[in-house]
Amino acid sequence: MSYNKKVAYFYNPEVGNFHYGPGHPMKPHRLSVIHSLVLNYGLHRKMQIYRPYRASTHDMCRFHSEDYVEFLQRVTPQNLQGYTKYLSHFNVGDDCPVFDGLFDFCSMYTGASLDGATKLNNNCCDIAVNWSGGLHHAKKFEASGFCYINDIVIAILELLKYRARVLYIDIDVHHGDGVQEAFYLTDRVMTVSFHKYGNYFFPGTGDMYEIGAESGRYYSVNVPLKEGIDDTSYIQVFKPVISHVMEFFQPTAIVLQCGADSLANDRLGCFSLSTKGHGECVKFVRDLNVPLLTVGGGGYTLRNVARCWTYETSLLVDEQISNELPYTEYLEYFAPDFTLHPEVVTRQDNANSKQYLEAITRHVCDNLKMIQHSPSVQMQDVPCDALPPEEERQPEPDPDSRQNPQDTDKIVEPANEYYAGDKDQDKMDTNDS
């Protein structure tokens, strides 16, 4: 049978131009590199590309507190002195620095996830893709772990206007704490996070006894893993857990956070997944045939993040792409192999025994059985959409046309214009780790 899923891809050409600051592991530039690979592989021909909506303060306040959003809107590196007493209050400073254009960055990545949710609600697509989103650590009142606004929570709230039950799956190496916390008390959202747990690994939450509370009891699912997990072990846990979740929860929409810091040799992560193993999880979720929003997340060895999300874009549109990377202005990043799937070489041992993985899977599946019947949520009055109807917004050009004025979106600036320093940083870090 031919693949017939409609894929909507949300990309703001400016989102890759922001800088967290010298030496900071989070590099929005990775988004420009991915987009360049996606275009040069010709994947844009298999999907609809949208320049996404930009989230307003009003959109952000659907989850976050007004004083926090107002602070993000007003603070700049230049007026920082006037806000010193708020910095620690909102956990802004070291991990989550104030940088030029911070609020615009938040507005872009959040708007893209919200746009994806709206397109799914309106049945304009089967899969919505926003690699700039997935900032799963942000809390209602504060920033955390390089995340300021939680685009995932805001997108899920939008999905809940039309969808009775939303499943959130998180394959970032870090626990999806911000999303879990936001929906800890409800049975309308099930959060399932696979992550490294133990030895004070950030953020320190996500053990298997965090299961939700009140109406949300058994609707938070945590799969704590140890360092060094490889493809075989990860998939051995991922597939049965997600199959059980589908059986017991029966979601009507899925949000998949594809954090790429779970790949081998990540600058901050400690797992040993290959891009193929990571992608296998994405493909598995794709084939569940439920409307799907995929977002990015962590991922701190730039060339591997770019490989991973490019490959996963190809899986979502079901297009086989060559292992040899196409020419892009960033080709030098991928030396010496210049391939999509380089061999995984890691010194990290897999600390997850077969017995441990079986025990954790059993524990999770036993908890899921406590939800004997999927909750039947009565549809209430449907509130207005956050975004204006499609016809009132700017039409998007045909991505194949050479004539259209928005073609400039696809011209990615040469790397050396804004990136020379950070690139070396990345190379150094990999040699260290």
| Amino acid (1-letter code) at residue 182 | A
Residue with smallest beta-carbon separation from Zn ion: 298
What are 54-60's contacts with CB under 8 Å, separation 24+? 54/12, 54/104, 54/107, 54/108, 54/111, 55/106, 55/107, 55/108, 55/110, 55/111, 55/114, 55/149, 55/151, 55/154, 56/107, 59/110, 59/111, 59/114, 59/154, 59/386, 60/106, 60/110, 60/149, 60/154
Nearest residue (CB) to Zn ion, 30 versus 174: 174
Nearest residue (CB) to Zn ion, 176 versus 216: 176
Contact segment (CB under 5 A) with Zn ion among 25-33, 284-292, 295-303, 317-325 equals: 295-303
Q: Find tokens 């990999």 and name the residue.
A: 430
**Binding test (CB under 5 A) with Zn ion, winner from 261, 312, 422, 426:** 261
Helix axes 231-249 and 354-368, enclosed angle (nearest 10): 10
Q: Is 264 exposed, middle or buried (0-12, 13-18, 19+ CB in 10 A)?
A: buried
Per rule CB under 5 A, count of chain residues that contact Zn ion = 5
Q: Is 278 annotated as a binding residue?
A: no
* H-only helix segments in 131-274: 151-159, 177-182, 231-249
Supply the minimum distance, in Å, between the C-beta of residue 393 and Zn ion. Answer: 33
State how far the Cα of 386 lies from the Cα of 59, in Å rounded to an integer: 7
Q: Is 145 annotated as a binding residue?
A: yes
Instruction: Report, as residue numbers or ranges, the catalytic residues.
Output: 137
Q: Is 95 annotated as a binding residue?
A: yes
**Binding test (CB under 5 A) with Zn ion, winner from 259, 277, 279, 399:** 259
Q: Does 296 bind Zn ion (CB under 5 A)?
A: no
Supply the minimum distance, in Å, between the C-beta of residue 186 and Zn ion. Answer: 24
Q: How far is CA 85 from the centre of its chain?
A: 31
Nearest residue (CB) to Zn ion, 299 versus 342: 299
Supply the minimum distance, in Å, between the C-beta of residue 281 and Zn ion. Answer: 15
Nearest CA to 157 out of 140, 177, 132, 175 is that of 140
Q: Does 298 bind Zn ion (CB under 5 A)?
A: yes
Q: Is 177 annotated as a binding residue?
A: no
* C-beta separation of 229 from 271 below 8 A: yes
Sites for Zn ion among residues 136-175 (CB under 5 A): 172, 174
Supply the minimum distance, in Å, between the C-beta of residue 371 and Zn ion. Answer: 28
Supply the minimum distance, in Å, between the C-beta of residue 257 and Zn ion. Answer: 9
Nearest residue (CB) to Zn ion, 126 versus 172: 172
Q: Is 178 annotated as a binding residue?
A: no
Q: Does 277 bind Zn ion (CB under 5 A)?
A: no
Q: From residue 91, give the alpha-carbon distance in Å to each of 86, 245, 279, 296, 430.
A: 8, 34, 33, 22, 28
Supply the minimum distance, in Å, between the C-beta of residue 308 and Zn ion. Answer: 13
Contact segment (CB under 5 A) with Zn ion among 2-10, 68-76, 188-196, 296-304 equals: 296-304
Q: Is 261 annotated as a binding residue?
A: yes
Instruction: Give the x-and-dash track for 2-41 against Zn ion (CB under 5 A).
Output: ----------------------------------------
Nearest CA to 116 out of 101, 134, 99 is that of 134
Q: Find tokens 């086989």 and name the residue.
A: 320
Supply the minimum distance, in Å, between the C-beta of residue 195 and Zn ion. Answer: 8
Nearest residue (CB) to Zn ion, 13 versus 259: 259
Supply the minimum distance, in Å, between the C-beta of residue 151 and Zn ion. Answer: 15
Instruction: Give the x-and-dash track for 327-356 against Zn ion (CB under 5 A).
Output: ------------------------------
Contact segment (CB under 5 A) with Zn ion among 75-83, 271-279, 290-298, 421-429 equals: 290-298
Structure tokens at 132: 């700039």
Nearest residue (CB) to Zn ion, 158 versus 261: 261
Nearest residue (CB) to Zn ion, 172 versus 231: 172
Beta bridge partners of 144: 147
State how far the Cα of 270 lies from the Cα of 259, in Å rounded to an integer: 13
User: Are β-strands 127-130 and 253-257 bridged in parallel, bridged antiparallel, or unpaired?
Assistant: unpaired
Nearest residue (CB) to Zn ion, 205 versus 250: 205
Nearest CA to 55 out of 138, 125, 126 is that of 138
CB count in 10 Å sphere of residue 354 = 10
Pick out the residues of the known binding site for substrate: 95, 145, 300
Q: Residues interacting with Zn ion, by CB under 5 A?
A: 172, 174, 259, 261, 298
Pick out the residues of the known binding site: 95, 145, 172, 174, 261, 300
Pick out the residues of the known binding site for a divalent metal cation: 172, 174, 261
